[in-house]
């Protein structure tokens, strides 16, 4: 049975949630389903749709609950495309879908929840999460499910489906070409952090760790920050204030993260709040050792001393110690990287798509054809 699926994505920028949507789109495409994306005009997702010839509609994002976008959503589902199922990719998309249901839309909807934040204690938020319009809420980790269950009346709607990525083929990935200012430094090691530059990612702890390693311990290490976000300028200023200009480099948004990871010696992930991390999955596939802080959900990815090393959130001394261990003990780093590679095989995007497709058919009480 071929489904017609409409994905709603309200983000203007490109972060893990948008990448995850695309990681679902392509394996579902292989299964023969007809797919359409409804996204914000001028967004990176719209540009991606245009570049990859993906059928899409756009709306002008004005912030808050958008009545006009909800009306258009209803028309797309019922008049223009005859949508079988809605996939609401973020909180704003969830709000839009819920508003459309209040306007009479009956197309069944699935919500994807990627945040570890509790549901807001507001009338609208509680109503939209408990609406009969929402058939299931896909939680990217057990931690997300645990948090949502505090305010969801029917917890049977909460299903855990871990994120999955297209497994990078290590031998087919070209080495990352660093800017000349980095190449000429001849660093002994490269340590990277790939994440949106926002407050919860705690790049300040990353910088403090770098400062201790290069200033107090005299390590010849280059630190790469890959990503964009609201804190980018603040972090750039902090790099200069800490005298780290010759060791820390902010490269901005990079469209080929696996290439950067392959050219790094370590992924240092200092986030304070995370549901699940695509960057860590990519590092695991590439045999790149990982050190992370103990944000909620990390234990579903990293077992300390088996698939990586863990440090308490904000604990610079522990992070420095773990970095030294990983860089100085090649036997340890290789062992952890191999265990992580074996562990991550279950988190590919085909496995994720299989589970989500099964949820779609469960909602529609139908069975898939062999595709």
- When mean pLDDT is compared over 272-276, 288-292, 345-349, the highest value belongs to 288-292
Answer whether residue 370 shows pLDDT above 70. no
| Interacting residues of 100 by C-beta distance below 8 A, sequence separation 6+ | 70, 71, 73, 74, 77
Q: Is the pTM of this model over 0.75?
A: yes
State the Cα angle at 114 between 112 and 115, rounded to 5°: 130
Q: What is the pLDDT of residues 247-289, one digit of tens each?
A: 999 999 898 899 999 999 999 999 999 888 989 999 999 999 9
pLDDT band at residue 371 using 50, 70 and 90 as cut-offs: very low
- Its sign, for the CA torsion 365, 136, 36, 347, is negative
Please give the share of the chain, as a percent, with pLDDT higher than 90.
86
Q: What is the pLDDT of residues 11-28, one digit of tens each?
A: 998 888 999 999 999 999
What DSSP string runs through 292-328?
A: EE--TTGGGT--BTTTBEEE-TT-HHHHHHHHHHHHH
Answer whether residue 36 shows pLDDT above 60. yes
Answer whether residue 60 shows pLDDT above 60. yes
Answer whether residue 354 shows pLDDT above 50. yes
**Is the separation of the CB atoms in 80 and 55 below 8 Å?**
no
Helices (H) and strands (E) in the chain, counts: 14, 13
Q: What distances in angstroms separate CA 334 from CA 278, 294, 341, one per listed residue? A: 21, 22, 10
Q: What is the pLDDT of residues 138-183, one digit of tens each?
A: 999 999 999 999 999 999 999 999 999 888 777 788 889 999 999 9
Give mean pLDDT, residues 25-45.
96
CATH topology of domain 4-166+348-364: Rossmann fold (3.40.50)
Each domain of the chain, given as residue ranges in start order, spans: 4-166+348-364, 170-344
Cα 360 off chain centre by: 22
Domain 170-344: give its CATH code. 3.40.50.2000
Q: What is the pLDDT of residues 317-332, one digit of tens each?
A: 999 999 999 999 999 9
Q: Return the closest-CA partner of residue 9 out of 45, 60, 50.
A: 45
CA gap 68, 190 in Å, rounded = 48
Whether 4-166+348-364 shares its CATH topology with 170-344 is answered: yes
Token pair listed for 207: 């910088």
Mean pLDDT of the chain: 94
């Amino acid at each position: 049975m071929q489904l017609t699926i409409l994905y709603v994505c309200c983000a203007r920028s490109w972060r893990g949630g948008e990448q995850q949507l695309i990681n679902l789109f392509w394996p579902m495409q292989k299964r023969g389903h007809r797919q359409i994306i409804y996204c914000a005009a001028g967004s990176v997702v719209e540009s991606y749709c245009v570049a990859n010839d993906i059928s899409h509609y756009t709306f002008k994002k004005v912030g808050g609950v958008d009545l006009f976008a909800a009306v258009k959503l209803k028309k797309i589902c019922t008049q223009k495309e005859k949508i079988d199922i809605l996939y609401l990719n973020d909180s704003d998309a969830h709000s839009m879908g819920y508003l459309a249901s209040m306007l009479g839309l009956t197309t069944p909807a699935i919500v994807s929840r990627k945040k570890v934040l509790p549901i807001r204690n507001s009338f609208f938020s509680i109503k939209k999460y408990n609406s009969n319009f929402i058939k299931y809420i896909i939680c990217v980790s057990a931690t997300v499910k645990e948090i949502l269950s505090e305010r969801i009346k029917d917890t049977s709607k909460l299903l855990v489906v871990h994120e999955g990525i297209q497994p990078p083929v290590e031998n087919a990935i070209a080495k990352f070409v660093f800017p000349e200012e980095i190449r000429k430094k001849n660093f002994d090691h490269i340590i990277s952090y790939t994440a949106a530059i926002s407050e919860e990612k705690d790049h300040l702890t990353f910088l403090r760790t770098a400062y201790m390693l290069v200033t107090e311990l005299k390590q010849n290490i280059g630190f790469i920050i890959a990503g964009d976000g609201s804190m980018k300028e603040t972090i750039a200023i902090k790099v200069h204030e800490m005298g780290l200009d010759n060791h820390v480099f902010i490269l901005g948004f990079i469209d080929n993260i696996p290439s950067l990871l392959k050219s790094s010696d370590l992924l240092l992930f200092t986030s304070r709040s995370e549901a699940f991390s695509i960057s860590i999955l990519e590092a695991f596939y590439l045999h790149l050792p990982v050190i992370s802080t103990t944000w909620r959900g990390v234990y579903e990815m990293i077992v300390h001393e088996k698939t990586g090393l863990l440090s308490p959130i904000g604990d610079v001394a522990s992070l420095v110690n773990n970095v030294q261990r990983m860089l100085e003990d090649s036997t340890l780093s290789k062992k952890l990287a191999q265990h992580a590679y074996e562990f991550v095989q279950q988190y590919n995007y085909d496995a994720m798509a299989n589970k989500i497709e099964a949820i779609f058919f469960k909602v529609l009480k139908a069975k898939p054809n062999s595709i």
